[in-house]
Amino acid sequence: MGQTAVNPPKVAIVKRVAKNIAARPQHRDGYLNESFPRRKSLLNFETLTDLDEFDYRFQKQARNKEDASYLGKPYRGSLYMNWARLYVGGRFAYATLSMAAGYIYAEIADAGHELLGNLIPFRYVPGKHHGKRQGAGWRWDMRVDAGGQEGIFEELRRQIWRYEQERYDALLTSWESANRAGA
């Protein structure tokens, strides 16, 4: 199967939706999974790309405060499955916001998980330390039970994950190149 260039969609936040949100004092800024800094809201961004790039830089700055050696990767679109609550046409709605590459990556991951489960039926079972107190929290120790095929299961899962990451990286690279070319 040959690769084809895909023009990335120019996704704009619908100003009408943002104005509906702003018109309701109790929902002035809508709600995204992340808080906005003081005096920032959806109304400050023309496109989802603008919002995403702002959030990317904000998160990178926060990580640098925690770890001065953190370099991060260049921005190539990082909006991935962020949920939002909005008013659309006067009706309250939930939305999941992703760049196109993130959406396709999620579809590939779902298909990979389903394929793996069809090849090797499995379930997660509590390990011997699951739910035990650890420091100020509780230990999460869930194990895969694949009917004695755990080694094969883990190897297939690792290969599927590698493939998903390669596809995601290729999509980001392709669309970033198309954006730079003005497509």
| Selected residue with higher pLDDT from 127 and 10 | 127
Q: Are 130 and 141 in contact (CB under 8 A)?
A: yes
Residues 6+ apart with CB under 8 A from 104: 167, 168, 171
> In the prediction, which pLDDT does 74 show?
84
**Ordered alpha helix ranges (H), 24-80:** 48-66
- Mean pLDDT value across the chain: 79
What single-letter amino acid sits at 174? S
Of 31-45, 104-118, 148-162, least confident by mean pLDDT is 31-45
Q: Give pTM, 2 decimals.
A: 0.64
Structure tokens at 136: 């100020």
Whether 42 shows a pLDDT value over 60: the answer reads: yes
Q: Which H or E element spans position 5? A: none
Alpha-carbon distances of 26 from 19, 93, 123, rounded to whole Å: 13, 15, 43
Question: Between 12 and 133, where is the model more confident?
Answer: 133
Share of the chain above pLDDT 90, in %: 37
Other CB atoms within a 10 A radius of the CB of residue 1 amount to 3
State yes or no: pLDDT of 19 exceeds 60. no
Domain ranges of the chain: 7-98, 100-183
Question: Over 70: is that where the pLDDT of 31 sits?
Answer: no
How many Å apart are CA 65 and CA 55, to the nearest integer? 15
